[in-house]
Structure 1
Amino acid sequence: MTETVVNTTDVKSAPAARVPADTTASAPRGKRPEGRLRALDGLRLLAALMVAAYHYGGRDGDVSRAWGGSPSTQFPTLHEWFAYGPLGVQIFFVISGFVICMSGWGRPLRSFFASRVARLFPAYWAAIILVTAVFALPTVAYHAVSPSDALVNLTMLQQPAGADRVLGVCWTLWAELRFYALFALCVVLPGATRRRVVLFCAVWTMAAVLADASGEPFLNLVLMPEYAPFFIGGIGLYLVHRDRRDVLAWGVTAVGWALGQHYAVAGLWHKANPAFFSYREPLVIIAIVTAGFAAVAAIAAGMLRWADWRWLTVAGALTYPFYLVHEHLGWVTIEVLHRRLGLPSSVTFVGTAVLMLTLAWLLNRYVERWATPVLRKAVDRHL
């Protein structure tokens, strides 16, 4: 996520909208839904754990060095299921579409920008510094990026700048930033209304498909055809959250789901090949994408109001810092627990996840809780 990563963003309702009449008309009896959606917090953490399962046991590469061999030998059966973990990112993007539409509704552009900067950067900066420092240790076998590239990483613009990434998962943040920019310019700046949001979804959907067909790299970079359907589907589900009888909102969601599963299959499926680490069944990919949309739809429609436990809010708070640190620091932890301490694979897997969640709690407690409001106020004041 974000805000996954996925993305991995807050889910508090935005202030009441000061916009034209059709904005409030879309909500039942003129009222917009309020209250924290704790089930959404739980779903975000579940998506992050899916991604972590992939990074720990669903692929080869650097994690094989941590285990001392391919994860397929550590988890002969489970590694095939762990290989579906990347779909947690698509679920993140659906949640992000929902949350960003919620947080941008009724907010001026200044406030929206300040909230996004304050939400994303404190934990991100801490993760960049922490991973860079750990990878620079002589006892750690993994490659650290150059000081110049590490500094570029602090901007979150390392990918378009062509710098090496400190965090492997930061490519999803680059997708999130592009989504934020499109939504801010097209919806938040002129003022969010139901009509404007629906038009934004329709135009972005058509433009993204045309960009894909054209093969033009710049259009693909801006419009993100492989990820746009998930963000758009999430936006549609927020409209459903405002009014469950909104047929057009359900239609936006359905189109996002249909295109999203197509791009998910196109990106993750390949023909069976014994030389590959794993094989993903197309029907399983479709089922996971469908389950992600269905879970957010159930939350949007109010079917999971009963899942109102406070620990879910804690789970949501841990998701973003966990997503940032779990991959690279997880490799180091796996190597220490499994190869140096000799713990079994299953214990190492669970123990690594628990330690990364503990680190995420520390980042949330000692970085995000004080830095986020300070940064938000500072950015908002200077804008």
Structure 2
Amino acid sequence: MEKKRIDSLDALRGLAALAVVLRHYTTIFSIDYGVPESFKFEFKYGYLGVELFFLISGFVIFMTIEQVKSSKEFIIKRFVRLFPTYWLSILITTSAILFFGLPKMQFSSKDFLVNLTMIQDVVNPIFHTKHIDGVYWSLAVELLFYGFILLLFKLKWLTHIKLIGFLWVLISIICIPNDISVFMLGVIFNLKWSPLFFAGILFYKLWKYDLEKMKLSTHILIVFSLLAYFFLTLTKFEEESKSNIVECIVATLFFIIFYLVAYQKLKFLGKNKVLLFLGKISYPLYLIHQNIGYIVLFYLIQTLKFDYQIIILIPILISILLATIIVFKFEAVYLDRLKKYLLNKFQ
């Protein structure tokens, strides 16, 4: 049975992006640049919004690969979805840093050029580059996951995804805690994040195929993925400002939410226009908010002497405005045309 677009996932994207924004404008900004005592609010676990993005990606990318007819179609669609908006966001952020940049934001021309590839984390041992904006680290993770799924598609192994996913996660829980990585294969194959991507795939199968709901193996593998996440989290070094236990609790909540999505019990989320709007602009909002928001906050506090937490609404609104312009004046106008042109040219 053909199923429609899942609005509840778009709403979850919006929540994930907002969580990351709040984390940066409270906890991280305070660490990097200092804030007055009147800044009491923290959202220090907002970074887990990125892990929610990884679950969503597992779901959505497997859905996408099942719908394409060729690897070229998949590559073109992913390229158009990711790179033009990413490049525009880099140009905007770079311009803001060059004119108004703060300490810790400096970068070189080499950094800029390598950042254009989106895989600066992968090539960092060679080029020793930094991110133009800190959030860019997760994009290489996503890109490598797309490459992994594309490889399975080319090899015609997608029908064996349960076995492959199980082995993928099993290798992760063996290698990651023991710091075993051969020629960066741990990075290239996303061993650190495999439980989330694989669980996203399994939740998609539950949502798409009614027969999967009756297969015990699917539910066992979802629980296995969650337990693997627990193991990878609880065996890592615990930072002073974070709790590995809290991360596990939040991840459990994410898995419960995805079960509800798979069984179509969260349709009410997809009816919330605010969350749907945030979901629509979530990608450019994620890309554009960090350093530009820091610049705005810094000058509001240091120059204009605003010293209450309420002022984080200003960079939030500015970031949402910029993301909205990118979506409706750039993506909506040019990306569909670009996709059609590339699909016609490379068929």
- TM-score (norm: length of structure 2): 0.88
- Compared with structure 1, are the counterparts of its residues 310 and 336 closer, same or farther at alpha carbon in structure 2 (3 Å cutoff)? same
CA contact (8 A) 1:105 1:192 kept: no
Question: Cα deviation per residue 1:89-125 (whole Å; 9 max; x = unaligned)?
Answer: 1111111101111111131211111111111112101
CA distance in 2, matches of 1:216, 1:331: 35
- Compared with structure 1, are the counterparts of its residues 335 and 229 closer, same or farther at alpha carbon in structure 2 (3 Å cutoff)? same
Matches within 5 A, 1:193-342: 195-212=159-176, 213=178, 215-217=180-182, 218-242=184-208, 243=210, 244-267=213-236, 269-270=238-239, 276=240, 278=241, 280-309=242-271, 311=273, 312-342=275-305
Instruction: Specify the SS of the correspondent of 2:166.
Output: helix
Instruction: Specify the SS of the correspondent of 1:115.
Output: helix
CA distance in 2, matches of 1:165, 1:343: 29
CA contact (8 A) 2:25 2:294 kept: yes
| 1:149 alignment partner AA | D
CA contact (8 A) 1:240 1:246 kept: no
Give structure 2 stretches of 5+ with no counterpart.
none
Deviates more, 1:203-212 or 1:169-178: 203-212
Question: Cα deviation per residue 1:225-261 (whole Å; 9 max; x = unaligned)?
Answer: 2211110111111111122333222222211111123
CA contact (8 A) 2:19 2:47 kept: yes
Instruction: Quote the offset at 1:159 in angstroms.
Output: 2.3
CA distance in 2, matches of 1:178, 1:341: 43
**How many residues are matched?**
334
CA contact (8 A) 2:133 2:291 kept: yes
Q: Does 1:102 align with 2:73?
A: no
- Residue in 1 aligned with 2:140? 174
CA contact (8 A) 2:285 2:323 kept: yes
- Compared with structure 1, are the counterparts of its residues 192 and 36 closer, same or farther at alpha carbon in structure 2 (3 Å cutoff)? farther
Deviates more, 1:306-315 or 1:40-49: 306-315
CA distance in 2, matches of 1:90, 1:264: 12
RMSD, matched Cα: 2.3
- Residue in 2 aligned with 1:133? 95
Give structure 1 stretches of 5+ with no counterpart.
1-30, 271-275
CA contact (8 A) 2:15 2:279 kept: no
Q: Does 1:58 align with 2:27?
A: yes
CA distance in 1, matches of 2:102, 2:260: 45
| 2:332 alignment partner AA | R
Deviates more, 1:211-220 or 1:158-167: 211-220
| 1:325 alignment partner AA | I
CA distance in 1, matches of 2:237, 2:136: 19
Instruction: Specify the SS of the correspondent of 1:136.
Output: helix
Deviates more, 1:223-232 or 1:208-217: 208-217
Instruction: Specify the SS of the correspondent of 2:18.
Output: helix
Q: Does 1:346 align with 2:309?
A: yes
Instruction: Quote the offset at 1:220 in angstroms.
Output: 1.2
| 1:99 alignment partner AA | V
Instruction: Quote the offset at 1:150 in angstroms.
Output: 0.9
Instruction: Specify the SS of the correspondent of 1:227.
Output: helix
Deviates more, 1:155-164 or 1:111-120: 155-164
Identical amino acids, percent of aligned pairs? 26
- Residue in 2 aligned with 1:372? 335
CA distance in 2, matches of 1:74, 1:338: 11
CA distance in 2, matches of 1:267, 1:326: 29
| 1:370 alignment partner AA | V
Instruction: Quote the offset at 1:49 in angstroms.
Output: 1.6
- Compared with structure 1, are the counterparts of its residues 201 and 176 closer, same or farther at alpha carbon in structure 2 (3 Å cutoff)? same
- Residue in 2 aligned with 1:164? 130
CA contact (8 A) 1:64 1:70 kept: no
Instruction: Specify the SS of the correspondent of 1:305.
Output: coil
CA contact (8 A) 1:122 1:371 kept: no
CA distance in 1, matches of 2:82, 2:190: 20
CA distance in 2, matches of 1:101, 1:141: 40
CA distance in 2, matches of 1:285, 1:310: 27
Higher relative contact order (CA 8 A, sep 6+): 2
Instruction: Specify the SS of the correspondent of 2:269.
Output: coil
| 2:94 alignment partner AA | T
Match of 1:44 among 13, 38, 53: 13
CA contact (8 A) 1:334 1:352 kept: yes
CA distance in 1, matches of 2:236, 2:81: 29
